[in-house]
């Protein structure tokens, strides 16, 4: 795997070896797991940071039941019964 990602040598004499990113862990390379974790953290921070509302109304049971019933009846009328 070191042929795919060569060692980068800096001017100061030390080398950076990124071959550990190609180690298989649970069937996938480590870089793929790191990318997935970064994506999950980015989406979570977007959700909690930007989409989070301060004044959220409490969901009313009657309103929720009415919406669920209307969606079910619409599905039954349009999709299930051609």
Concatenated DSSP letters for the chain?
Answer: -TTTSPPEEPTTS-EE--GGGG-EETTEEHHHHHHHHHHHHHHHHHHHHTS--SSPPPPPHHHHHHHHHHHHHHHIIIII--
Would the pLDDT of 8 be above 60? no
Give residue 28's pLDDT: 87
User: pTM score, two decimals?
Assistant: 0.47
Give residue 77's pLDDT: 83
Give residue 38's pLDDT: 97
What is the tens place of the pLDDT at every residue in 15-68?
677 777 778 878 888 889 999 999 999 999 999 888 887 777 777 899 999 999
Give residue 79's pLDDT: 79
């Amino acid at each position: 795997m070191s042929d795919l990602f060569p060692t980068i040598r800096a001017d100061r004499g030390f080398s950076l070896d990124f071959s550990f990113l190609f180690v298989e862990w649970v069937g996938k390379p480590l870089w793929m797991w790191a990318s997935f974790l970064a994506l999950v953290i980015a989406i979570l921070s977007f959700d909690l940071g930007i989409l989070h509302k301060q004044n959220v109304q409490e969901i009313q049971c009657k309103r929720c039941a009415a919406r669920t019933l209307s969606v079910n009846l619409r599905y039954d009328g349009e999709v299930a019964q051609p």
